[in-house]
Structure 1
Amino acid sequence: MRAHRNVDGGFWVAAVDPLAAEQALTGTIPVDRVRAAAVLSDGASRLVDRFGLVTWRQLLDLLDHDGPAELIRQVREAERSDPNGSRWTRGKIFDDATAIYGRIT
C-alpha cells in the first residue's frame, strides 16, 4: 500500500503529507439546495467505498434517520465479519471511524 500512497493514480493521505490536500476533489452547489452535510473519515466511509454494502444515498439516509453512531456500528459489524480481510482487502482490519452529520434548516 505504501507504493500507492500520495502518488498519482494512488490515494492521498494528508496525515502523511499535508500537501495531499491539494489533491482534494471539490465542487460547488447553490446554497439553497443544501439540506444537510456530512463529514466522514475514510474509516466511516468504508461502508460505501471499501465494502460496497450501501450507496452514498443510503449512507446519507442512514445518517439522517439513525445518526453517526449507527453508521459506525454498521462499519464495525462489517469489519468484524471479515477479520482476515479475505472479503475486503484492506491495510488494517479496524480503521478510525469518525462521522459528523447535520441538517440545515
Structure 2
Amino acid sequence: MTAPGSPERQRAHEALVQEERSLRNTPGGYWVAAADPAAASQALTGTESASRVQGAALLADGAARLVTTFHATDWQGYMTLLRHGGPEEVLRQVREAEESDPDLSRWPRSKQYDDATTAYIHQACC
C-alpha cells in the first residue's frame, strides 16, 4: 500500500474513481440516487409486518464501515450494538477504527474518514 498523498496513491485513486463512475447507475453496476434520482426506481423493496420487526436502521456508507470495511462485526452484531449502545456507540467505534489506521493501510479505502450518519428505530415493548 502506498502512502496517502503519494503520486502512486493518487494514480490508484483516479483509476478507482474512473471504474466506480463507469459502474454507477448502470445495469450490473450499483445505483446512487444522489447522483441520479431516477436510480430510485432500481431500489429493492418489500414489506414486513410491523409486529415482526424488532428494529431497523438507515445508514450512510461511512456508518456501515464497521461491517463493510473494518469487519469488526456482522450485520446481526451491528444491530445488537445499535440496540444496546445506540448510534452514538456505533459511530464512536467507526471513528475509533478510522483513527487507528491513518495511513489507510490496514483497511484500504479512499479516505480516512467518511460521513457516518445513522438513523435507528426499535420496538420499545412487546
TM-score by length of 1: 0.84
Question: Percent of pairs identical after alignment?
Answer: 55
- Over the aligned positions, Cα root-mean-square deviation in angstroms equals 1.7
Question: CA offset at residue 47 of structure 1?
Answer: 0.7
| Cα deviation code 1:15-43 (max 9, x no counterpart) | 11112222222222222201222111111
Question: Which residue is equivalent to 2:102?
Answer: 83
Matched, 1:43 2:58: no
C-alpha change, 1:82 and 1:25, in structure 2 (3 Å) is farther
AA aligned to 2:92 is R
Matched residues, number: 105
Instruction: Identify the structure with the greater helix proportion.
Output: 2
Deviations 1:73-103 (A, max 9, x none): 1111111122232232223221111111122
Uncovered stretches (5+) of structure 1, i.e. residues with no partner: none
* Structure 1, 55-64 or 84-93: larger mean CA deviation: 84-93
For structure 2, the residue ranges without an aligned partner over 5 or more in a row are: 1-19
State the match for 2:25 in structure 1: 6
Number of the residue aligned with 2:51: 32
